[in-house]
């Protein structure tokens, strides 16, 4: 019997081998035919191979969240020809940065890094892989020449953290810094910081490599205009960010290059009075497979005001409905067009180009050649120069007066550039980020945001309006029977509720800074309903007047009644002669605050204005910790910094 079983098993084993393993052997692919594809993709991801192929010796990498880092990188790459060198700008996300050690294979080569810092000292999305590589690598970069310009904002705790890290880490790996680290401050004048650094950077490059400026200051077009007269409308971009017709045929996953068109279900005014317009929007994400958590950000792609677009077309005498393409003259460039093409001038100026921010000096420099009045041309060139007088004029006439491109054209009558060159020069219109004011635990198919409409009068008596908030204000649920939609995607955040629901939390969010905390409180209410034990949930909110802009008043009262919110402290800054802000209420309740921090191991969250509020709140915590923790000022500062390091003090702030 045992022998029979053995024979049967042996026969089954042979049959199994015959049917499965023998067949598999026959189906093994011929790997020789796959090799070319692998090698081609390796070449594509190698910036070294690209530099060799195109005769470049300077590569300018950028870490960019809002487009400025990319813009600066493009300007530096374009500068190179004035020094007899050839540059290319490069997105680190598209290349294998471990190739950096091979840069010595190219004669007189240089790597420049324009690195923006995002959030609380983090790398931008496109520089995350590069940052991870720098942290993990032990590559030998000796012989590599480099320079770094950082883009940051002094109102943030970790000013220019990414630029500083890249500069320090490259040196640690053996690379040679040929010019000092530049630290741009967007709270001051980032453009001036960049120009000042750049005007000293190039002489240092010349000295290091023994080259001289060619004296060629001429404008070089990067793109050529192609006009499409008889093009199929289905091949024309009309606002899509990536795939053509992606707004008509939506396919997940949804991200920066493939946003989801979310219908607006609710758009209501939050404040009862006052001059400002605070609004609450609810966006339907049903069927999108988009997942979000409390504390995440939503990115929306706005559209420019049609009247601004029409005025630009009129002043330039352009047919805005002409369908065009701007094709890169450098055929090897990864960036074939400055924005999706083919498209119409109208679509480009509405969806793709920033026409509301004051233009940077490089735009003025390139446009100056088209001014027919000698004095106006000289003025534009002066503002684009690095002279003290020019910088001062640019600061007062453009930046402080908040002149956008339309205002500059209106106030410079002889300046009428070709619209295609203007479209080449203007920066891309960027997505706008908002803190999500809901939780997916309660609202899995809806994302809520709250925002204040930006509108102000400039020194030239013009009324400037915020692009995104004005556009969102007009997004009513039903516009003439059609669903009103918003192109969006979700950006993950580190601004998270504690893992344990029993951990107490203190939330400080005046004005629209309350947004993420509405989601936090909703989530804690949901946890209570699930029978979970929930820790102290404390909110410090502030507004100007109780009867005007106490937003979410009814919702907060309901949260308090249901126990989702255990303490609510509201500062009405202008309802009495002396101003009262959230930091004053923190100090008023200092004993309870210290108890939650010291005994309760609470988590602290601050959301809102970085320039004043976040700093004042942090100072209030220093005072409380010093008094009740029996510490001196420096010890109190270190104590709060330690909370930040441990993830117990989190910021979601903007300036």
Q: Could you give the residue numbers annotated as active site?
A: 435, 607, 652, 654
Whether 112 and 76 have beta carbons less than 8 Å apart is answered as yes
304 known ligand binder: no
The contacts of residue 107 (CB under 8 Å, 6+ apart) are: 57
433 known ligand binder: yes
Q: Where would I find the beta strands (DSSP E) of 175-259?
A: 176-177, 182-185, 223-228
209, containing H or E segment? helix 190-209
State the burial class of residue 73 (Cβ atoms within 10 Å of its Cβ: 0-12, 13-18, 19+).
buried
The contacts of residue 579 (CB under 8 Å, 6+ apart) are: 573
257 known ligand binder: no
CA-CA-CA-CA dihedral for 68, 69, 75, 77, to nearest 10: -160
List helix spans (H) across 397-532: 405-410, 419-425, 467-473, 515-529
512 known ligand binder: yes
Report residue 501 as tokens.
């629901």
- Taking each helix axis from N to C terminus, what angle separates 553-562 and 515-529, rounded to the nearest 10 degrees? 30
503 known ligand binder: no
Report residue 338 as tokens.
């400055």
The contacts of residue 239 (CB under 8 Å, 6+ apart) are: 247, 303, 347, 350, 351, 352, 487
481 known ligand binder: no
616 known ligand binder: yes
Place of tokens 């995350």: 128
518 known ligand binder: no
233 known ligand binder: no
Residue 488 preceded by cis peptide, ω within 30? no
158 known ligand binder: yes
54 known ligand binder: no
Question: How far apart, in whole angstroms, are the C-alpha atoms of residue 167 and residue 175?
Answer: 10
583 known ligand binder: yes
Q: At 192, is the secondary structure helix, strand, or coil?
A: helix
156 known ligand binder: yes
Which candidate, 538, 497, 489, 509, places its Cα nearest to that of 648?
Answer: 497
Residue 601's alpha-carbon distances to 364, 439, 503, 594, 604, in angstroms, are 54, 24, 7, 10, 10
112 known ligand binder: no
649 known ligand binder: no
629 known ligand binder: no
What is the Cα Rg of the chain in Å?
A: 29
177 known ligand binder: no
Place of tokens 């709270």: 187
CA angle 301, 303, 308 (to 5 degrees): 155
547, containing H or E segment? helix 546-549
Question: How far apart, in whole angstroms, are the C-alpha atoms of residue 632 and residue 625?
Answer: 9
345 known ligand binder: no
526 known ligand binder: no
69 known ligand binder: yes
509 known ligand binder: no
Question: How far apart, in whole angstroms, are the C-alpha atoms of residue 528 and residue 523?
Answer: 9
- For 113, other C-beta atoms within 10 Å of its C-beta total 25
Question: How far apart, in whole angstroms, are the C-alpha atoms of residue 388 and residue 392?
Answer: 6
597 known ligand binder: no
Tell me, what DSSP letter sits at residue 237?
B
502 known ligand binder: no
469 known ligand binder: yes
535 known ligand binder: no
622 known ligand binder: no
582 known ligand binder: yes
Question: How far apart, in whole angstroms, are the C-alpha atoms of residue 50 and residue 103?
Answer: 11
286 known ligand binder: no
Query: Binding site for FAD: what residues are annotated?
Result: 402, 432-435, 450-452, 456, 466-469, 654
Query: Binding site for FMN: what residues are annotated?
Result: 64-69, 116-119, 151-160, 186
Query: Binding site: what residues are annotated?
Result: 64-69, 116-119, 151-160, 186, 276, 402, 432-435, 450-452, 456, 466-469, 512, 573-574, 579-583, 616, 654
Query: Binding site for NADP(+): what residues are annotated?
Result: 276, 512, 573-574, 579-583, 616
């Amino acid at each position: 019997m045992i022998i029979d079983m053995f024979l049967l098993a042996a026969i089954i084993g042979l049959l199994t081998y015959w049917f499965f393993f023998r067949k598999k052997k026959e189906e093994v692919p011929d790997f020789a035919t796959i090799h070319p594809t692998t090698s081609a993709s390796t070449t594509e991801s190698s910036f070294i191979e690209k530099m060799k192929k195109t005769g470049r010796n300077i590569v300018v990498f950028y870490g960019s969240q809002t487009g400025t880092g990319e813009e600066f990188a493009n300007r530096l790459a374009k500068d190179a020809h004035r020094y007899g060198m050839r540059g290319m700008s490069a997105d680190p996300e598209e290349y294998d940065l471990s190739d950096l050690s091979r840069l010595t294979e190219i004669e007189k080569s240089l790597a420049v890094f324009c690195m923006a810092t995002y959030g609380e000292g983090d790398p931008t999305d496109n520089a995350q892989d590069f940052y991870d590589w720098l942290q993990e690598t032990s590559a030998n970069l000796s012989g590599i020449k480099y320079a770094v310009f950082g883009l940051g904002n002094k109102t943030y705790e970790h000013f220019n953290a990414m630029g500083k890290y890249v500069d320090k880490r490259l040196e640690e790996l053996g690379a040679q810094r040929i010019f000092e680290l530049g630290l741009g401050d967007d709270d001051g004048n980032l453009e001036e910081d960049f120009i000042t650094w750049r005007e000293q950077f190039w002489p240092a490059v010349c000295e290091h490599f023994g080259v001289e400026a060619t004296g060629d200051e001429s404008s070089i077009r990067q793109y050529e205009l192609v006009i499409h007269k008889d093009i199929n409308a289905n091949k024309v971009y009309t606002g899509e960010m990536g795939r053509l017709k992606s707004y008509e045929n939506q396919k997940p996953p949804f991200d920066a290059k493939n946003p989801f068109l979310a219908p607006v279900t609710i758009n209501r005014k939050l404040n009862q009075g006052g001059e400002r317009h605070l609004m609450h929007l609810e966006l339907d994400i049903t069927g999108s497979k988009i997942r979000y958590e409390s504390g995440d950000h939503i990115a929306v792609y706005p559209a420019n005001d049609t009247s601004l677009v029409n005025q630009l077309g009129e002043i330039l005498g352009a047919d805005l409905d002409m369908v065009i393409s701007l094709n890169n003259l450098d055929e090897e460039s990864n960036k074939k067009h400055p924005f999706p093409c083919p498209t119409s001038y109208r679509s480009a100026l509405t969806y793709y180009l920033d026409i509301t921010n004051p233009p940077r000096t490089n735009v003025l420099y390139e446009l100056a050649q088209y001014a027919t009045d000698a004095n106006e041309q000289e003025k534009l060139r002066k503002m684009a120069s690095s002279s003290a007088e020019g910088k001062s004029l640019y600061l007062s006439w453009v930046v402080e007066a908040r002149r956008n491109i339309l205002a500059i054209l209106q106030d410079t009558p002889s300046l009428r550039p070709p619209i295609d060159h203007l479209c080449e020069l203007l920066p891309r219109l960027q997505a706008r980020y908002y803190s999500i004011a809901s939780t997916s635990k309660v609202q899995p198919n809806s994302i809520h945001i709250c925002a204040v409409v930006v509108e102000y009068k400039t020194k030239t008596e013009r009324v400037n309006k915020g692009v995104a908030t004005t556009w969102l204000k007009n997004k009513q649920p039903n516009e003439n029977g059609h669903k009103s939609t918003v192109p969006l995607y979700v950006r993950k955040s580190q601004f998270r509720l504690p893992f344990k629901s029993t951990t107490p939390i203190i939330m400080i969010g005046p004005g629209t800074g309350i947004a993420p905390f509405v989601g936090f409180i909703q989530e804690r209410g949901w946890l209570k309903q699930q029978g979970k034990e929930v820790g102290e949930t404390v909110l410090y909110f502030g507004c100007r007047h109780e009867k005007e802009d106490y937003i979410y008043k009814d919702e907060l009262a309901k949260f308090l009644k249901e126990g989702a919110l255990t303490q609510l402290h509201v500062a009405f800054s202008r309802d009495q002669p002396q101003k009262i802000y959230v930091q004053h209420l923190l100090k008023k309740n200092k004993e309870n605050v210290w108890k939650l921090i010291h005994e309760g191991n609470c988590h602290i969250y601050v959301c809102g204005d970085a320039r004043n509020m976040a700093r004042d709140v942090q100072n209030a915590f220093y005072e409380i910790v010093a008094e009740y923790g029996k510490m001196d000022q420096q010890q109190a500062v270190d104590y709060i910094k330690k909370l930040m390091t441990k993830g117990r003090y989190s910021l979601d702030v903007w300036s």
